[in-house]
Chain A
Amino acid sequence: EAGVAQSPRYKIIEKRQSVAFWCNPISGHATLYWYQQILGQGPKLLIQFQNNGVVDDSQLPKDRFSAERLKGVDSTLKIQPAKLEDSAVYLCASSLGTSGLNEQYFGPGTRLTVT
């Protein structure tokens, strides 16, 4: 079974530029999550999708971050414009069902550096 795929793996941009990350979840997984992990911290949920609907985006800075999950499969996360404090690893995860007890499978992450 293929795991969660993410691209790019690394990205360096200047502040005020835009960037987009892509995630392909495990086939058949209904729920998709985007996390932000700042160095020295644990992952923090940004947004959770169930199929192509948003379940929770309460911690997403909506003035600069946006995410979509078209057709309930792949997802993109965009930052526009980026700030220095957005430097972090962005992790995508997916789970099979909608129950909170379903295990989340994480991708390798995209490391973003904003200079």
Chain B
Amino acid sequence: DQQVKQNSPSLSVQEGRISILNCDYTNSMFDYFLWYKKYPAEGPTFLISISSIKDKNEDGRFTVFLNKSAKHLSLHIVPSQPGDSAVYFCAARTTGNTPLVFGKGTRLSVIA
């Protein structure tokens, strides 16, 4: 039973345009959501997070939107840069020091 789903395995975007990565979840007890970025042969790196009490969090070129009623979150990258090419993982957890549950990831390719 996959509690965090990233239904798009890959995404290609032109440099300068917006990248939108999507994530759906099934567990209504999740209250904290994170996005990680992973380059080949490296471990995932924390990118941005959002608490369930918010619907938007912004950090520079990265914005995460949370729609609790739809159990959906998205990561917007604007403008996209070639260095953003990586695998992006959506993760979620319930309250407390509980394990992160990861999606399968979306490979983003930003084309110059």
Chain A residues packing against B (C-beta within 8 Å): 4, 31, 40-45, 48, 50, 55-56, 59, 91, 93, 98-101, 103-109
Contact = CB atoms under 8 A, between A and B. Distances in A.
Contact of B102 (A42, A59, A105): A42
A56 B43 contact: no
Given A98-B97, A99-B97, A100-B93, A109 B43 contact: yes
A96 B87 CA distance: 25
Contacts of B91: 42
B56 interface: no
Contact of A42 (B89, B93, B98): B89
A41 B32 contact: no
Contact of B97 (A42, A44, A100): A100
A93 B34 CA distance: 15
Given A42-B104, A108-B41, 7 more contacts: A42-B91, A42-B102, A56-B98, A91-B43, A100-B93, A106-B43, A108-B43
Interface of B: 4, 32, 36, 41-46, 89, 91, 93, 95-100, 102-105
A93 B43 contact: yes
Contact of A43 (B41, B89, B93): B89
A19 B89 CA distance: 28
Given A40-B104, A42-B102, A44-B102, A31 B45 contact: no
26 contacts: A4-B43, A31-B97, A40-B104, A41-B104, A42-B103, A42-B105, A43-B44, A43-B89, A43-B100, A45-B99, A45-B100, A48-B99, A50-B97, A56-B99, A59-B99, A91-B44, A93-B43, A98-B97, A99-B97, A100-B93, A101-B32, A103-B46, A104-B46, A105-B46, A106-B45, A107-B43
